[in-house]
Amino acid sequence: MSNLLTRALSHAALLVFALTTFSGTALKADLVWTPTSGWQVQGGVLSGLIPEEGRTALETMNKARADEENGERSSAMSRYESVAKKYPNSIYAPEALYRAARIRMERKQYFKAFDAFQDVVSRYPNSPHFNEIIGEQYRIANALVDGARPRYFGVIPGFKNRVKGIGYFEKIVETAPYSDYAPLALMNIAQGHQRLGQYDEAIDALDRMINDYPQSLLAPDAYYKLAHTHAELVQGPYYDQASTRQAITYFEDFLILFPGDSNVPSVDKGLVDARNTFAQSKIKIGDFYFYKRNNYKAARVFYNEAITSYPESATATEARARLAEVEAAETKAQNPDAPRPAPRKRFWML
């Protein structure tokens, strides 16, 4: 009895060794299609199926490809999807899902196509189509953000859905953060939110772009758009200046980091406008304390801040004139009995 047990264990060990040895080879197998031979498994020894299932799956794959070649896209898509559903652990499944997704994309079934592509990269991350799939998903998201209408059943036009496109770009960043498409997706996320008037979300996307991909060729454009987006939120000197300060920061950063960029003239102008608005806001606050509260100390602080924030501007000149008025008013308040200057003579013409 012990000999039988020993022999059984020995055979089991050999079986485990064989499966371990060959499974690595099987995983490296490729599914190749040629017009003459159809689909074939090359470079491996296993398809992930028992022989009978393997023959059925292969036969279905070949029928689907024949339908695809003959323009019978609906039939081809159904066959591919049946293979992916029945044999999810086989070498045929990722290829079947991929080809079904491509057909859905051609039929402008954008939502189902994107989800099918996502199934491939999520469930089969070693797929040779990974980079190509991310590119296809990028095109779907871009089409939706640009206002393309998806088609239901590949025929009936649906409604525009830019929000869905923005969500798809976010999925691309999540799935392939180190791909060339990730920084592009973030830039498109920002653009999509701006189209919808969602400036905070646009700023967040641009901020992630410059922090996560500072070496990207898109970094100058991200800084430029980030500065101008903050500038667009500036409502004038009478309002909160948080956006103005942010715009100034990003305009200045742009000029330091990208002094040779073609957008420098536009950035220079944006910086001048932002700094002038910020200085004007200090004058407005100073005026309130000076004219409405007779608080000379507070007024002097804000007028000086206006000068400091943009010393070479006309606004700074205006602030210096206000400071002279403050000094005169304060002197008069401290010496109420001081003689007043003689009134100017007026000449009346009869």
- Residue 185 — very low, low, confident or very high, per pLDDT cuts 50/70/90? very high
Residue appearing with tokens 């400071």: 323
Report the alpha-carbon distance of residue 289 to residue 283 in Å, rounded. Answer: 10
- Per-residue pLDDT, averaged over 229-251, amounts to 94
Measured in degrees and rounded to the nearest 5, phi and psi for residue 214 equal -65, -25
The pLDDT of residue 54? 77
Report the alpha-carbon distance of residue 135 to residue 183 in Å, rounded. Answer: 13
pLDDT at 320 over 70: yes
Q: How far is residue 81 CA from its own chain's centroid?
A: 31
**33 strand-pairing partners:** 39
The pLDDT of residue 337? 64
Report the alpha-carbon distance of residue 36 to residue 38 in Å, rounded. Answer: 6
Write down the pTM of the prediction: 0.80
Beta strand pairing call for 30-34 and 151-152: unpaired
pLDDT at 189 over 90: yes
Report the alpha-carbon distance of residue 109 to residue 88 in Å, rounded. Answer: 23
The pLDDT of residue 53? 79
Percentage of the chain modeled with pLDDT above 90: 74
Report the alpha-carbon distance of residue 238 to residue 313 in Å, rounded. Answer: 19
The amino acid present at 327, given as its one-letter code, is E
> Three-state secondary structure along 66-80?
HHHHCCCHHHHHHHH
Top pLDDT among 224 and 51 is at 224
139 and 148 in contact (C-beta within 8 Å)? no
- Per-residue pLDDT, averaged over 4-29, amounts to 43
Structure tokens at 236: 């004038």
- Residue 43 — very low, low, confident or very high, per pLDDT cuts 50/70/90? low
Report the alpha-carbon distance of residue 253 to residue 239 in Å, rounded. Answer: 24
Q: How far is residue 102 CA from its own chain's centroid?
A: 24
- Residue 183 — very low, low, confident or very high, per pLDDT cuts 50/70/90? very high
Residue appearing with tokens 């499974």: 23
- Per-residue pLDDT, averaged over 111-138, amounts to 95
Closest listed residue to residue 89, CA positions, set 53, 62, 45, 128: 53
Sign, Cα dihedral of 245, 248, 254, 257: negative
234 and 271 in contact (C-beta within 8 Å)? no
Q: What is the mean pLDDT of the chain?
A: 87
pLDDT at 23 over 60: no
- Per-residue pLDDT, averaged over 179-193, amounts to 96
133 and 152 in contact (C-beta within 8 Å)? no
Structure tokens at 90: 């086989």
Average the pLDDT over each of 28-42, 91-105, 152-166 and give the range with the smallest value: 28-42
pLDDT at 296 over 90: yes
Can you spell out the DSSP letters for 24-50? HHHHT-EEEEETTTEEEEES-S--SS-
Question: Could you count the other beta carbons within 10 Å of the beta carbon of residue 115?
Answer: 15
Report the alpha-carbon distance of residue 165 to residue 328 in Å, rounded. Answer: 62
- Measured between alpha carbons, how far apart are the two ends of the chain, in Å? 141
